[in-house]
Structure 1
Amino acid sequence: MQVAKKKVVQARIVTLLLVKLALALVIYVIWRLDSAPRTDDAYVYADTVNVAPEVSGRIDKLAVKNDQLVKQGDILFSIDSRPFEATLAKAQAGLQTLNAQIELTQRSVNAQKFAADAAHSSVERARAAAEQATDTLNRMAPLLNPGYVSAEQLDQARTAHRSAQAQLQSAVLQAQQAKAAVSGVEALLAQRAVLTAEIALAKLNLEFSTVRAPFNGRVLGLTTAAGQFAAAGRPVFTLADTRRWYVVANFRETELVEMAPGRHVQIYLLTAPSRHFSGIVESVGHGVYPDDGGSQDAGLPHVPRSINWVRVAQRFPVRILVDNADSELFRIGASAVAIISEHPSHFR
């Protein structure tokens, strides 16, 4: 009887210890989740760009393959450059022709300026002669009545005066015509500026015919080959930036209270669970599109009816910058696990 009671007491003690241990374990798990939130709703992400040519043409050389790693400055593909070379040669030839035309025109302009200067000198001589004839006539006119000069001499002076005035008027008209005949090269210089701009654009298009990697990255989504016509601005493939890798982890809104930029994060990939990676919280999402509710109809909020009274916490994306990412293991969209550290660190 005593042995049975002793066994019952021992069983109760063991049960009580197990209950306390389970309670302590639950408390620890809750504390751990509160102090170090974690989620497996996370995926790997990297910045990407759509590689598109600046000019249109047929691809004559494709220097990369799908999923290939490339370095900044490497040739990705090139477009047939012959049309751009021809355009450049045409513009350069046009500029040479225009320069020769400007030189000849400038010589003609210089000759016209010399003629205008000569005509101006003729005007000055004719004006001087007219002034002298006027002075002579004015001096001789009072001397006619006293008989110091004859009427014939006075008539000769008047004739000389009229002739000098006519020559002055003729010289003035010739000078005006010579001045008006002086042209310029301003229009040709404006054409040269246009051709210079066309040459610069042709050189730029020729340079654009070779597409190079803007950064170290990996080629993704390449489904074309040499010979394909590439249109300007239309992507040929995608280039992922392998210099910086991120993990976008969706945490519940109740876990975002102290999740500010700078928190240290432990990261694991499902493809390599034994590898440990570290990261830093770079940003915390501040907006998501709600799955239900929130829409408005005729100015009133619309909240759909539901018999499910369980409120599920919304999740917000947290962007985590990975410190020691392995480009061979990290793939865009790969599943990951993110564990926030207990103590915040400074954002770097």
Structure 2
Amino acid sequence: MTESAGALRNKKLPALIVVLITSLLAGFVLWRLDHAPSTDDAYVYADTISVVPEVNGRIVEMPVRDNQPVKQGDLLFRIDPRPYKDALNQARARLVTLDKQIALTQRSVNAQQYNADSVKAAVERSRAQAGQAADTLRRMEPLLAQGYTSAEDVDRARTAQRSAQAELNAAMLQAQQAAASVSGVDALVAQRAEVEAQIAIAELNLEFTEVRAPFDGRVAALRTTVGQFASALKPVFTLIDTRHWYVIANFRETDLKGVHARLPATVYLMSDTGKRFDGKIDSISYGVLPDDGGVVMEGLPRVARSINWVHVSQRFPVKIAVQNPDPDMFRIGTSAVATLRRGASR
């Protein structure tokens, strides 16, 4: 009887061990899910720009090729600069011509001003003569009644006074005419400012014929070469900003508790699962397009959350900034796996 009880205990012991190990594994998995949520619904992302010229023209030089890395300031392509050089030279020639015209007009204005000043001096002379004639007449008129002067002398004084006044009036009219005829160079100076603005625009357009990389990046989607006519504001190719790489990971809403910006994370790419990269959360999306018949808000990412008849938790994109990424591995759209380290933040 004792032997059979011992044998029964020996049979139960492996089962208890299995149950204990299973419980420990389940506890570890639950702890792992709570402290380090992970998702394989993730992909690599980087900012991109469309490289567009700001002037029209034929491409005469393109030293880059598709998928080539470039440095900030590298020449991407050059548009034929000859029309813009000619426009600049034409504007500069107009400025030279206008400066000479301003100088010539200024000399004419100076002559007009000298003439006006001369007529003004003549007015003052006529005014003095008229005043002298009037004074002479006033002195002679009382002497006529006393017999100290003749009527003929008084008549001559009156005639002289009227003549001097007429000359003064004529001189004043000439002075007004001379002053009105004095022109200026204000209109030409305004034209000069306009030509200077045209020169600045021509210089800027000439500078725009060279399109250079605004940052370190990689050329993508290049489908043209030298000889193609480039239109202003029409993309020629895409430039990927390789200075910053991100992983966009879609986490279940139930995993976002306690998740915040700058939370540490670990990512790896499906192209090489053996290499791990550290990262930090850059931001968390605050909106996705609902797919259950609710109100649709355009411009937000759509993440499906229904699998057949099963209603699963909604997923929200979490943007993770990768630290020290491998430039040879990271490509936009590469599949990735992301794990958040909530325990590390605590």
* TM-score category of the 2 structures, normalised to the smaller one: over 0.9
Distance 1:175 1:258, change over 3 A: same
Please provide the CA RMSD for this pair.
1.8
Residues 241-260 of structure 1 mapped to structure 2, 5 A cutoff: 241-260=241-260
The AA in structure 2 aligned to 1:176 is Q
**Counterpart contact for 1:262–1:344, Cα < 8 Å:** no
SS of equivalent to 2:290: coil
Aligned to 1:185: 185
Relative to 1, partners in 2 of residues 1:200 and 1:110: Cα closer, same or farther, differing over 3 Å? same
Give the Cα–Cα distance (whole angstroms) in 2 for the partners of residues 339 and 109 of structure 1: 83
Equivalences for residues 92-241 of structure 1 within 5 A? 92-241=92-241
Map of 1:330 onto structure 2: 330
The residue that corresponds to 1:302 in the other structure is: none
TM-superposition CA deviations, 1:95-125 (whole Å, max 9, x none): 1100000000000001111111111111111
* Alpha-carbon displacement from aligned partner over 1:269-297 (angstroms, at most 9, x marks no partner): 1111111110011111111111112139x
Contact 1:113 1:182 in 2 (8 A): yes
**CA shift at 1:7, angstroms?**
4.8
Aligned to 1:54: 54
Say whether residues 1:90 and 2:90 are aligned partners.
yes
Instruction: Work out the CA distance in 1 between the residues paired with 2:38 and 2:214.
Output: 36
TM-score normalised over the length of structure 2? 0.94
Equivalent residue, structure 2, for 1:70: 70
> Once the two structures are superposed, what CA deviation does each residue of 1:16-75 show, in whole Å capped at 9, x if it has no partner?
221221122112101101111111111111111110001111111111001100000000
Aligned match of 1:321: 321
Aligned residue runs from structure 1 range 251-270, under 5 A: 251-270=251-270
Q: 1:317: how far off?
A: 0.7
Identical residues among aligned pairs (%): 56
- How many angstroms apart in 2 are the aligned matches of 1:289 and 1:239? 29
CA distance in 2, matches of 1:344, 1:166: 108
Deviations along 1:143-192, one digit per CA (max 9) or x if unpaired, are: 11111110110010001001101100110011111101100000000000
Q: Which amino acid aligns with 1:329?
A: M
Q: 1:285: which partner in 2?
A: 285
Q: Tell me what 2:35 maps to.
A: 35
User: For residue 301 of structure 2, what is the aligned residue in structure 1?
Assistant: none
Distance 1:74 1:294 in 2: 49
- Matched residue of 2:141: which SS? helix
Q: Do the aligned partners of 1:277 and 1:324 also contact (CA within 8 Å) in 2?
A: yes
Shift in Å, 1:93: 0.6
Q: Residue 331 of structure 1 aligns to which amino acid in structure 2?
A: R
Instruction: Note the C-alpha offset of 1:257.
Output: 1.0
Q: CA deviation at 1:9?
A: 3.4
Given that 1:130 and 1:165 are in contact with CA atoms closer than 8 Å, whether structure 2 keeps it comes out as yes
Aligned length: 337
Conserved? CA contact 2:258–2:342, under 8 Å: no
Local SS of the residue matching 2:257? coil
Amino acid at match of 2:261: P
Counterpart code for 1:215: F
The one-letter code matched in structure 2 to 1:223 is R
Per-residue deviation, 1:10: 2.6
